[in-house]
Amino acid sequence: MPLSAPREGLFEIWGFGAGIESQSPIAAWGRPILSVWSSESVLDWGFSRPTSAISVLEEESGISLYSSMVDLFRKQVLDGNWDESLITLHKIGLDDENILKSVSFLILEQKFFEILEKNRIMEALETLRSEITPLSINKKRVHEFSSCIVSPSQRILLGFANVGTETLKPRMKLLEELQKMLPPSIMVPERRLEHLVEQALGVQREACYFHNSHESCLSLYTDHQCGKDQLPSHTTQVLQEHHDEVWFLQFSNEGKYLASSSNDKSAIIWEVCEDGELTLKHKLIGHKKSVLMVAWSPDDGQLLTCGMEEAVRRWDVHSVNASTSEKTGLGLISCGWLLHGKQLFLEWIRLFALGFRWQRTGLLERAENK
């Protein structure tokens, strides 16, 4: 969900409004709380000058976002001072040798391509031989670097064309990649604040027993609770097309359709009109036994219907054509889609689940690595 927040009140939320007492919990947790801020997150939250916003937070709290050594490292990367940045990298407290090599490799990769783009071939070759190769990692990538010296077109394939003429964006991208590799205690990943806020709102949502309100009602200022009066309590429409018990209901992901299944061996797709009324769109006939459940595909273009210990049918919502796979005697009781919509799951009465993939023939095939 998109996040937005007023500029006034942000300091109060995080505890920086009226200064910080040395013995308060905020003092102990100050840097972790402050460090979730980044230039990207404050821009997303409506601050026109992210650097100024972070500076105000640092001044109010008395806590620096990064250590002086990390600040120096970031500046050296953005300025293209590659040799100095590698020296600083060894001073920021990174103990993992593998991470140290990987970060150094990325920095030297950027150095190599910027030099190469300026047609300083011998200098680029020396960087490759004496700095990149001795790291003894990612040998395939090193071979690709060698081919770039011989063939300039190879740089385009590797995504490093025009690096020398437009340096700021590639360096910003490099810094983002370094943030992902370095431990959070050294350099916090981008958008961390947004993730923390999402988690906090998610906890409120899950703790609300009667949650039935719009996402915009959630706030960090107060704990969210929906009242019982917000639950639907009045009948607005009765759907009577089924001729026996209705066993399962499910709205499509976008809320445009409602699917129902019944003991009368049928399933029905209902269309939700603009006024909220539901009208019959398709009645799905073909099962020989009761239809236990239905399942919408992620794009709402297809619907699965599961006959009790009988068969699973896949229906095209618009043409109502069905592909079916008879699985008699195996005790089918449930079905569902994976998120990408290319695979589905069938559940047997023996509580034994198998994964399948639909092919163009409409038949089911067991998925790989299952």
Q: Tell me the CATH number at 287.
A: 2.130.10.10
**Are 278 and 360 members of one domain?**
yes
Say if 133 falls within a structural domain: yes
Q: How far apart are CA 255 and CA 277, in angstroms?
A: 12
Say if 34 falls within a structural domain: no
Ramachandran angles phi, psi of 202, nearest 5°: -65, -40
Question: Among 96, 119, 99, which Cα is nearest to 107's?
Answer: 99
**Are 175 and 251 members of one domain?**
no
Which tokens in the block code for residue 370?
């299952």
Q: How far apart are CA 25 and CA 22, in angstroms?
A: 9
**Are 163 and 90 members of one domain?**
yes
Say if 334 falls within a structural domain: yes
Cα-Cα-Cα-Cα dihedral sign, residues 191, 197, 201, 206: positive
Residue 328's domain comprises 246-366
Say if 236 falls within a structural domain: no
Q: How far apart are CA 291 and CA 152, in angstroms?
A: 62
Length of the chain, in residues: 370
Beta bridge pairs of residue 251: 258
**Are 172 and 258 members of one domain?**
no
Which tokens in the block code for residue 17?
């409004």
Among 181, 206, 226, identify where a domain stops. 181
**Are 355 and 256 members of one domain?**
yes
**Are 143 and 253 members of one domain?**
no
**Are 167 and 255 members of one domain?**
no
- Bridge-based pairing of strands 246-251 and 302-307 is unpaired
Beta bridge pairs of residue 257: 271
Among 159, 181, 203, identify where a domain stops. 181
Predicted model pTM: 0.50
Q: Is 94 helix (H, G, I), strand (E, B) or coil?
A: coil
Provide the pLDDT for residue 213.
78
Structural domains counted in the chain? 2
Say if 31 falls within a structural domain: no
Among 133, 151, 181, identify where a domain stops. 181
**Are 172 and 76 members of one domain?**
yes
**Are 358 and 251 members of one domain?**
yes
Say if 281 falls within a structural domain: yes
Say if 135 falls within a structural domain: yes
Q: 84, 103 in Cβ contact below 8 A? A: no
Say if 204 falls within a structural domain: no
Q: For every one of its 370 residues, what pLDDT tens digit does the chain have, with 9 covering 90 and above? A: 334 443 333 433 443 433 434 444 334 344 444 444 444 444 444 444 455 566 777 677 677 777 889 989 999 999 999 999 999 999 988 889 999 999 999 999 999 988 988 889 899 999 999 999 999 999 988 988 888 888 777 766 666 655 544 567 889 889 989 988 998 888 877 777 778 888 888 898 888 888 877 777 788 888 888 888 777 788 889 999 999 999 999 999 999 999 999 999 999 999 999 988 999 999 999 888 999 999 999 999 889 898 887 888 889 888 777 665 555 445 667 788 887 767 766 665 543 444 444 433 333 434 333 3
**Are 77 and 177 members of one domain?**
yes
Provide the pLDDT for residue 330.
56
Q: How far apart are CA 92 and CA 326, in angstroms?
A: 63
**Are 258 and 340 members of one domain?**
yes
Q: How far apart are CA 19 and CA 7, in angstroms?
A: 18
**Are 168 and 255 members of one domain?**
no
